[in-house]
């Protein structure tokens, strides 16, 4: 296994984003339920539900059909991708702590008339995607969408900044040749993309692709242990830059996926 493989190998990221978008398309009559389950298979051969509150009434050996049943009960579906220091509006709660640890949650609002939303949190463990169901103890308002045009502009500016990161990397960590560097960036970008069902918002696709590019560069920069100078202050500044760029990419991805989800939603949902 090469150093590139060590950095860039692995299953696709963001199963919650994919499930949210494809489930919304199914509920909106734009795809079949098999399309949703086939999409889940791209992330892992097996899907399990950890359901401490027995929300689903028990799960079988494979939980994909149970996940579809849960999606059908949703009044509204929403993706959030929180990080430390940027909870994306999620209130203090055990569900939020789990979401921060996983970096992703799929919120299900209005489930069977319940005012307290469910949080469906995916974790990839080997060849299994484990979905943990939490019920929030307090209400969580549906997020107000940011203008996608502004998000795209911010990402475009961020891509210009990330283009300088690789050149600023100090010694140490995993060092790659120019060819391996390009290969690793390409593989990481593909991993961080979200394959969406048919939709009409071309800008949402561009934002998701740009977010994948930013996060790929940030991931690779982190793997190479950037120093950004010799002093502790410079190291802290470099780490903060990486965290800020990653948080921006995640927020942009969530905004774009939620825009597509809203497109599929029927007026009465």
In a domain, 265, yes or no: no
The answer to whether residues 23 and 137 belong to one domain is yes
The answer to whether residues 134 and 21 belong to one domain is yes
The answer to whether residues 37 and 120 belong to one domain is yes
Do the Cβ atoms of 78 and 142 come closer than 8 Å? Answer: yes
pLDDT band at residue 83 using 50, 70 and 90 as cut-offs: confident
In a domain, 82, yes or no: yes
In a domain, 151, yes or no: yes
The answer to whether residues 108 and 66 belong to one domain is yes
pLDDT, tens digit (0-9, with 9 covering 90-100), for 186-208 = 888 899 999 899 888 999 999 99
* Averaged pLDDT for residues 154-177: 65
Do the Cβ atoms of 135 and 52 come closer than 8 Å? Answer: no
In a domain, 266, yes or no: no
* Residue 9, pLDDT score: 59
Alpha-carbon distance of 84 to 19, in angstroms, equals: 23
The answer to whether residues 123 and 192 belong to one domain is no
The answer to whether residues 40 and 73 belong to one domain is yes
Overall domain count for the chain: 2
pLDDT, tens digit (0-9, with 9 covering 90-100), for 36-72 = 999 999 999 888 888 887 766 655 545 778 888 888 8
In a domain, 119, yes or no: yes
* Residue 52, pLDDT score: 80
* Residue 171, pLDDT score: 44
Whether 31 shows a pLDDT value over 50: the answer reads yes
Q: Which domain holds residue 201?
A: 3-10+145-257
Do the Cβ atoms of 241 and 180 come closer than 8 Å? Answer: no
* Averaged pLDDT for residues 11-16: 88
The answer to whether residues 110 and 203 belong to one domain is no
* Residue 236, pLDDT score: 52
Among 109, 144, 179, residue at a domain's last position:
144
pLDDT band at residue 178 using 50, 70 and 90 as cut-offs: low
Q: Please give the mean pLDDT across all residues of the chain.
A: 81
CA dihedral of 88, 13, 249, 205, whole degrees rounded to 10: -110
In a domain, 177, yes or no: yes
* Residue 3, pLDDT score: 47
Lowest model confidence (mean pLDDT) among 4-13, 85-94, 248-257: 4-13
The answer to whether residues 139 and 157 belong to one domain is no
Residue whose C-alpha is closest to residue 221's, from 241, 249, 206, 197: 241
The answer to whether residues 113 and 154 belong to one domain is no
Residue-level length of the chain: 269
Among 110, 144, 178, residue at a domain's last position:
144
The answer to whether residues 201 and 100 belong to one domain is no
Using a pLDDT cut of 90, give the percent of the chain over it: 38
Whether 247 shows a pLDDT value over 50: the answer reads yes
Among 120, 144, 168, residue at a domain's last position:
144
In a domain, 262, yes or no: no
* Averaged pLDDT for residues 87-94: 92
The answer to whether residues 115 and 150 belong to one domain is no
The answer to whether residues 169 and 152 belong to one domain is yes
Alpha-carbon distance of 121 to 81, in angstroms, equals: 10
In a domain, 244, yes or no: yes
Residue 63's domain is classified under what CATH number? 3.10.450
């Amino acid at each position: 296994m090469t150093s590139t493989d060590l950095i860039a190998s692995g299953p696709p990221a963001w199963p919650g984003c994919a499930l949210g978008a494809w489930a919304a398309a199914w509920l909106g009559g734009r795809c079949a339920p098999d399309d949703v389950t086939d999409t889940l298979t791209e992330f892992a051969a097996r899907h399990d539900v950890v359901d401490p509150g027995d929300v689903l009434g028990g799960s079988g050996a494979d939980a994909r059909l149970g996940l579809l049943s849960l999606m059908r009960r949703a009044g509204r579906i929403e993706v959030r991708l929180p990080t430390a220091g940027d909870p994306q509006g999620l209130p203090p709660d055990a569900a939020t702590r789990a979401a921060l640890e996983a970096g992703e949650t799929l919120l299900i609002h209005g489930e069977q008339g319940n005012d307290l939303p469910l949080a469906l949190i995916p974790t990839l463990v080997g060849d299994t995607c484990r979905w943990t169901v939490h019920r929030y103890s307090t209400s969580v308002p549906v997020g107000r969408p940011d203008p996608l045009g502004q998000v795209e502009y911010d990402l475009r500016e961020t891509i210009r900044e990330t283009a300088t990161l690789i050149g600023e990397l100090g010694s140490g960590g995993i060092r790659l040749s120019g060819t391996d560097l390009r290969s690793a960036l390409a593989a990481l970008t593909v991993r961080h993309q979200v394959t969406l069902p048919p939709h009409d918002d071309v800008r949402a696709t561009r934002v998701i692709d740009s977010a994948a590019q930013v996060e790929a560069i940030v991931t690779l920069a982190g793997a190479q242990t950037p120093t950004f100078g010799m002093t502790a202050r410079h190291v802290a500044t470099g780490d903060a830059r990486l965290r800020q760029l990653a948080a921006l990419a995640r927020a942009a991805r969530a905004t774009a996926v939620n825009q597509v989800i809203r497109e599929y939603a029927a007026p009465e949902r």
